């Protein structure tokens, strides 16, 4: 079963959940705020996806970081920031069991999940 990670009140996560439901694709939803995020989960994301794509530099959370926190980013520093503040993660994150999909695009989901666009 697929696992969809995100925050339930995020508009993109809402659109993704609606699309999955409409296409009868079974998934479990994992809310970063209520279910938390472990370093193992984050390491799994980073092992299967580019950490630069995982980090949402357009988020309100990113803009609230200090210049020092934003400077000299390495994968380890970025992952530590995301672990401390999961709202820095671009949403949603879909774990198919074989790959990690970051963000939501109908065509991408349809192609990967063999659903009708």
Which residues are known to be catalytic?
10
How far separated are the first and last CA of the chain, in Å rounded? Answer: 20
Q: Of 37, 42, 26, which is closest to residue 102 (Cα–Cα)?
A: 42
Q: Which residues contact 92 (CB under 8 A, 6 or more apart)?
A: 4, 5, 6, 10, 12, 13, 16, 103, 104
DSSP 64-86: HS-HHHHSS--HHHHHHHHHH-G
Pairing status of strand 2-6 against strand 93-95: antiparallel
């Amino acid at each position: 079963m697929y696992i969809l990670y995100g925050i339930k009140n995020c508009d993109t996560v809402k659109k993704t959940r609606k699309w999955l439901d409409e296409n009868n694709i079974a998934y479990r939803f994992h809310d970063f705020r209520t279910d938390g995020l472990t370093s193992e989960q984050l390491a799994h994301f980073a092992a299967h996806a580019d950490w630069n794509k995982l980090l949402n530099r357009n988020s309100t959370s990113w803009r609230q970081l200090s210049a020092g926190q934003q400077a000299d980013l390495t994968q380890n520093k970025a992952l530590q920031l995301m672990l401390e503040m999961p709202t820095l993660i671009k949403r949603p994150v879909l774990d198919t069991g074989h790959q990690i999909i970051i963000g939501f695009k109908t065509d991408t989901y349809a192609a990967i999940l063999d659903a009708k666009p």
